[in-house]
Amino acid sequence: MRIALNYVRASRDRIRQRISRWRYDEPRPKVDKLSGLQRILFVRWDAKWGDSVIFSFMCRELRKLGPVSIEVIATPDMAPLFRDHFGVDVVHEIRKRPRSAEIRELTAAIGSIDLAVHFSTLIKSRDMFLLHCLQARHTASLDDSVGLVDVPLGAATAGLHMEDKYLELLRCCGIEDADRQYLVPRSRDHEERVSVFLGGREAPFVAINPFSKGRAKTLNPETTRRLIDMLLARLPGTMSVCSRHLAGRARWLQFAETGRKVAAFTIPRPARSTITLPCWPVPMLW
């Protein structure tokens, strides 16, 4: 049943994509170098915390162009991260799956921009409508098949890490030797909570979260077991393996029981999550 449902959804999405390309796409001459940039808009309405941290150095580096306004389209949940931590000048908030009328209203409020950046390898129907409505002098994307994209970076950056894809965009803007150091938000309150949680537990401590929002990026039980075995082989002594408990998936914690060297336990789900702590901050636990 699930396979059939996924097939129907994929077919529906392909039809929507073809219709949106037919209605809203149009060819534009391609460019290699960008100049005269004063307003740069990043489409980040599907952003997650980890992807946003990779993006974080872009604002700092784009300041090298001079007086430039760096703007982002983001959901209300992610807006504080861009506004308060990454130095974005303007955050245009919109819900995750907006209607056409909401997109028209948003783009009308944004007005004319010099560069729109939508780093997606597949421009979907809603994305296509947004790019059509934006009054952008240039559009950069990883989907080279879209005619509106006059700065195609998909083939040029194929196989590279997202960080390197951003660096290629900076080179198109005339910025070489960029500083790629990330900006990682810190929270004293959350760090104190983690310290209390770790109190009394034996070191070394490793937090493993095999789950993701989507099934495609969730580690399966076999991969999780191999990962734990590799850690046990490389780290001496007793190791605690911790995983966040998700409803209906507690059985996954059984795979942490690979010997007496491992103590498996769960992190209780907080009543309300915050943008600065989507999960317990693993880099702080090493």
Q: In this prediction, what percent of the chain has a pLDDT beyond 70?
A: 78
Q: What angle do CA 121, 39, 109 make, to 5 degrees?
A: 90
Clarify whether residues 167 and 208 are in a common domain: no
pLDDT of residue 284 exceeding 90: no
For residue 195, what are the domain limits? 188-284
**Euclidean distance between CA atoms 44 and 57, whole angstroms:** 15
| Domain final residue pick, 138, 172, 206 | 172
Average pLDDT for 14-37: 92
pTM across the whole model: 0.74
Clarify whether residues 235 and 138 are in a common domain: no
User: For position 133, which CATH number holds?
Assistant: 3.40.50.2000
pLDDT of residue 285 exceeding 70: no
pLDDT band at 106 (very low <50, low <70, confident <90, very high): very high
| Domain final residue pick, 147, 172, 197 | 172
Clarify whether residues 131 and 194 are in a common domain: no
Task: Classify residue 237: in a domain, yes or no.
Answer: yes
Clarify whether residues 93 and 135 are in a common domain: yes
| Domain final residue pick, 121, 138, 172 | 172
Give the model confidence (pLDDT) of 107-120 as tens digits. 999 999 999 999 99
> Are the C-beta atoms of 86 and 182 separated by less than 8 Å?
no
Specify the number of domains making up the chain: 2
